[in-house]
Amino acid sequence: MIKYILKRILQIIPVLIGVSAIVFLMLSFSPGEPARLALGMNAKPEQIEAFNRENGLDQPVAIQYVNYMKGLVTGDLGTSYTTKQRVSSMIAIRLPATCILAFGSLILTYLVAIPLGILLAVKQNTWFDDLYRVAALIASSIPAFWLGLLLMLLFSVKLGLLPSNGFDTPMHWILPLLCSCFGTWAGSSRYIRAMVLDTIRQDYVRTARAKGTPERQVLFRHAFKNALLPLITSIGFSIGNFFGGSIVIEQVFGINGMGRMMLNALREKDIPTVMAGVIITAIMIALGNLIADLLYGVVDPRIRAVYSSGGPKKVKKKEAAAA
């Protein structure tokens, strides 16, 4: 198992190199001069030249990339062109808020969506199911940006229950998390409903019922457990979505997170900051997928057995033919 995990972690490295190379090239060849943005429109050519020299921007792009990667390997994410601060310290300030927002949204989404999805499957084709279908359509159509403002008006201005902005205390987290989860609740619960309905029609479920197994056990032990595999895949991808998709929530609620940092860095063509943000997001997505893969093993003993033997192996052509 450990061998498999290590193997998967090592596989993340070429992914990161690929992602970083593509993003670095895109940033380097996109129009706009970092020096002009950092120094302002009154900057003299010699000042721009000095800025480029100081930040290694006078080197060919390939050398710039190699230098950046050399720094990255030693844990140096570089210095921001605009803020003159270490990128690592900028991220240290912002990463906690984004992690709370991303993982909090993930937990809250599935904490609500799973029981709701099962309930919808049980109540299939009832008025509750129909009503929820309409509600889900409306909920997933509301832009997070607008919903955020509505939530603020209701909970902060009208009811005076919750702070309207910031992310200092758990009370501050409630509205951004609600806003972040609202649309995904609708989609995820419908997805879980469909998966449970799919398994509920399987022979083994019919057999369990025929044997007189109580309905709750049929639902949770037989139907839901078998519906978990595609759900885990969906959760794995959601980690990346929540992590990368926090920009709007951060903008509306004035949260100083990674999304806002990345957006500002992109506007200012601050390459070290953008690169660090992209690499961290890529790591999160890769880890999310790794966790999902490992959870397959927890849920399905057949997959666990494959992991225990060091992970899935390629079947040789000869062996396959013999089989």
Partner 1 sequence: MKKLVSLALATAMTMSLLAACGGDSGSKATPDPSVPNQQGGSNAITVVLQTVGNNMDPCFANAITTTTITDHIYDCLVNCGLDFSLQPGVITSWEQPDELTYKLTVGDGFVFQNGDPLDAGDVVFSLERLEDIPQAADLYARLASVSAEGSVVTVVLKEADNGFLRELAEIPAMSKDYCEEVGDAYANAPMGTGPYQMSEYIPGEKAVLTAWADYPGGKASIDTITFKAIEEASAAYIALESGDADFSDVDAPDYSRAQSNDKLTFTQVDSAYTAFVSMNTQAAPFDNANVRKAMAYAFNTEGYLSVKGDNYIAIDSMFPMVSEYHYTPDNAITYDLDMAKELLAVEGYNENNPLTFTISGYSSNDVVMQAYQADLKSIGVQVDLVTQEFGVFLDNMASMNFQMLTGGWGDTTGNPLTAAECYWSGSFGAQNISFYENAMCDELYNTAKASNDPAKVMDACHQIQEIAWEDVPMFPTFGRSDGYAYNKDLTGVVIYPSGIVSFREAKLG
Binding residues for partner 1 (CB under 8 A)? 31-34, 36-37, 39-44, 47, 51, 80, 82-85, 89-90, 92-94, 96-97, 99-100, 103-104, 107, 111, 145, 148-149, 152-153, 156-157, 160, 163-168, 170, 173, 251-254, 256, 260-261, 264, 266-269
Q: Whose structure tokens read 């999805």?
A: 117
Closer by beta carbon to partner 1, 4 or else 236: 236
What CA–CA distance (Å, rounded) separates 197 from 207?
16
Residue whose CB is less far from partner 1, 19 or 175: 175
Q: Which is nearer to partner 1, 4 or 167 (CB)?
A: 167
CB of 277 to partner 1, least distance (A): 13
In the complex, least distance from residue 13 CB atom to partner 1, rounded to whole angstroms: 26
Of residues 4 and 182, the one with the C-beta less far from partner 1: 182
Q: Kindly tell me which of 216 and 316 has the beta carbon lying closer to partner 1.
A: 216
User: What's the min distance (Å) between Cβ of 239 and partner 1?
Assistant: 13
Answer whether 288's CB lies under 8 Å from 8's CB.
no
Cβ distance 105 to 235 under 8 Å? no
Name the 3-class secondary structure at 75.
Answer: coil
Task: Report the nearest approach of partner 1 to the CB of residue 148 (Å).
Answer: 7
Cβ neighbours of residue 264 closer than 8 Å, sequence gap 6 or more: 270
Shortest distance, position 252 Cβ to partner 1, whole Å: 5
Report DSSP state, residue 211: T
Q: Which residues pair with 79 in a beta bridge?
A: 86
CB 180, CB 253: distance < 8 Å: no
Instruction: Name every residue whose Cβ is closer than 8 Å to that of residue 204 and which is 6 or more positions away in sequence.
Output: 222
> Which one, 200 or 258, has the nearer CB to partner 1?
258
Beta carbon nearer to partner 1, 26 or 107: 107
The two most distant CA atoms of the chain are separated, in Å, by 85
Q: Is 79 helix (H, G, I), strand (E, B) or coil?
A: strand
Q: Closest Cα to residue 156, out of 140, 171, 141?
A: 171
Q: Are 16 and 275 in contact (CB under 8 A)?
A: no
Report residue 296 as tokens: 């397959």
Shortest CB 246 distance to partner 1, Å? 14
DSSP helix/strand/coil, 126: coil
Q: Measured from the CB of residue 87, what is the shortest distance to partner 1 in angstroms?
A: 12
Q: Which is nearer to partner 1, 163 or 288 (CB)?
A: 163
Report the residue number, 111 or 315, with the smaller CB distance to partner 1.
Answer: 111
* Minimum gap (Å) between residue 2 Cβ and partner 1: 23
Reading phi first (left if > 0) and then psi (alpha if -120 to 50, else beta), residue 152 is in alpha
The label of the residue with tokens 């940006």 reads: 145
Min dist. Cβ of residue 50 to partner 1 (A): 9
Structure-token match 């309930």, residue found: 119
